[in-house]
Structures are given as structure tokens and as C-alpha cells.
């Protein structure tokens, strides 16, 4: 699934207000690097890293030229000391609930804040030869998101089927 454009500008403005000028951001599952494109226009001094599970995306989208560092692997196995912000844009729905909860718990301890972009009630199988594109939580609704992932605050819901949250 490609990420929706709606709401990205507003979330980028939110990020610009919440991340220091020389802050650090980890973009989880960057796909084509759209968050780097948005953020670098408003926050050119922010240092952005990325972790991508589907290694062919790194070369296909030329991610090494969009990020300071690009790591290949599963964020659930990725250990980091600290980021000012972690972006989980269209990521959690690709994980089993318990794994997603563990990834957020780790981020809570190792990041000042994080942003979650999440689609609601969206079924998707593996696409583009990428088995990790399958949605393992296709049943998510705003209410179910709050039940599974409490202590999050809505930033913006630009569409009925998509929202952005950050940790409360």
C-alpha cells in the first residue's frame, strides 16, 4: 500500500514543532522515502535514519541518498539508543498485535516521541513481491486502535479510513 498524502503536510508541521532543529528521526518502513521528502523541506538540519525490512526497496527507491543511514532489517529486532522521533507510517498494520505493541514499548523507552500513521479496515496481501506488505491487522478501527494501543493521542484524521497518532 502506498501511503496517503492527506494529512502529511499537517503532520510534518506538527513534527517541525516537536523535533529540535538538529534533532534525530528514525523512519520505520520508509518505502519510497516520502517522509524524508516532506520533513527535509521544513527541517533541513534534522538527521533522518531509516530501517527497511524489504531490502530491494533500499536500492529501488535510492534511500541511501534520502537518509543519513539506512538499516536493513525488522524494526522488532533493531536496537537503538535514542531518537527524538520515530515515524511508524503505515507499519503497525503489517505486524501481529503483540509484536506491534512490543515495538511501540521499545520506542517509548528509546525515543522522545513517535508518530503512527494507520489505515482502518484495510485488507491487503503481499504485493510487489514483498511478503511484508500483508496487513496482519486488517480489522483496525479507531476504537480498536485505542483498545490495542492505549495512551495515544490523535494528531489528525484526514480521512475516515486513516489517522495519525502520537504517544500521549
Task: Give 105: exposed, middle or buried? Use CB within 10 Å, 0-12, 13-18, 19+.
Answer: exposed
Tell me how far apart the alpha carbons of residues 94 and 92 are, in angstroms, rounded to a whole number: 5
CATH of domain 8-167: 3.40.50.150
What is the pTM (predicted TM-score) of this model?
0.95
Distance between terminal CA atoms of the chain?
27
Of 53, 27, 32, the closest CA to residue 132 belongs to: 53
86-141 pLDDT, tens digit per residue, is 999 999 999 999 999 999 999 999 999 999 999 999 999 999 889 999 999 999 99
Cell 485505542, residue?
Answer: 146
Helix (H, G, I), strand (E, B) or coil at 149: coil
Amino acid at each position: 500500500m502506498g501511503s496517503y498524502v492527506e494529512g502529511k503536510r499537517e503532520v510534518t508541521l506538527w513534527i517541525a514543532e516537536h523535533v529540535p532543529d538538529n534533532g534525530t528521526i528514525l523512519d520505520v518502513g520508509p518505502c519510497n522515502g516520502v517522509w524524508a521528502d516532506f520533513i527535509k523541506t521544513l527541517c533541513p538540519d534534522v538527521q533522518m535514519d531509516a530501517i527497511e525490512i524489504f531490502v530491494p526497496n533500499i536500492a529501488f527507491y535510492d534511500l541511501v541518498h534520502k537518509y543519513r543511514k539506512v538499516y536493513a532489517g525488522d524494526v522488532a529486532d533493531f536496537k537503538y539508543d535514542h531518537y527524538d522521533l520515530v515515524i511508524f507510517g503505515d507499519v503497525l498494520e503489517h505486524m501481529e498485535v503483540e509484536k506491534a505493541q512490543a515495538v511501540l514499548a521499545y520506542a517509548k523507552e528509546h525515543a522522545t516521541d513517535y508518530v503512527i500513521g494507520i489505515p482502518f479496515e484495510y485488507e491487503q496481501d503481499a504485493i510487489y513481491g514483498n511478503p511484508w506488505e500483508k496487513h496482519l491487522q486488517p480489522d483496525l478501527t479507531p476504537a480498536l486502535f485505542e483498545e490495542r494501543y492505549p495512551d495515544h493521542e490523535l494528531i489528525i484524521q484526514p480521512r475516515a479510513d486513516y489517522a495519525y497518532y502520537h504517544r500521549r
